[in-house]
Amino acid sequence: MSYNLSLYRFSDGELAEPDMDVVRAVLSPVRAGPEKVSDGATEYWIRAADGSEAEVGVYERVISVENPQAGDVWKIVIELTDQLGAGILIPNGTFLCQEEMRAHLPEGMENDSVFVPAITLGAFERAAGPFMDPLT
């Protein structure tokens, strides 16, 4: 089964652009192919040291993580999310984000969110629960 995740950052109730300097700093060392720019997106194919992979698309206001495999690639996704100050929309409808983002969420989104001091793999696994395969 494949999973797709979305990474979002909010500022004053609005979606905010991802910081491309942070994206490149986290993803460039683990690129498995060339960075591609097409249709307003920057696409990365990343591979962790254990061989697990994912496709990452960076759009104007969202980052899409497609088909992340079980393994260390999840650590890269979590690092990217944390470094960006973003949150993760999990397939079960939960939005996992840092506590400091609470004040910036759109009205009503707080009810479906889990707030943590930092985005970590453990926090992600707890929030995702049975909806995700084992990650490591």
CATH number for the domain harbouring residue 48: 3.30.310
Q: Which DSSP symbol is given to 85?
A: T
pLDDT of 134 above 60:
no
Query: What would the pLDDT profile of 5-53 be if each residue is shown by its tens digit?
Result: 999 999 999 999 999 999 999 999 998 887 788 888 899 999 999 999 9
135 falls within a domain: no
Tokens of 97: 């984000």
133 falls within a domain: no
8 falls within a domain: yes
44 falls within a domain: yes
136 falls within a domain: no
Mean pLDDT of 53-70: 92
Average pLDDT in the chain: 89
Q: Which residues contact 76 (CB under 8 A, 6 or more apart)?
A: 26, 27, 30, 46, 48, 54
| pLDDT for residue 128 | 84
Stated as kind and residue range, the H or E segment containing 10 is strand 10-11
**Phi then psi for 97, rounded to 5 degrees?**
-150, 165
**Domain assignment of residue 76, given as a range:** 4-128
Which residue, chain included where needed, has tokens 């969202």? 62
**What percentage of the chain carries pLDDT values higher than 70?**
93
Range with lowest mean pLDDT among 32-46, 66-80, 81-95: 32-46
| pTM score | 0.88
Number of domains in the chain: 1
Sign of CA dihedral 30, 17, 9, 56: negative
What one-letter code names the amino acid at 70? A
92 falls within a domain: yes
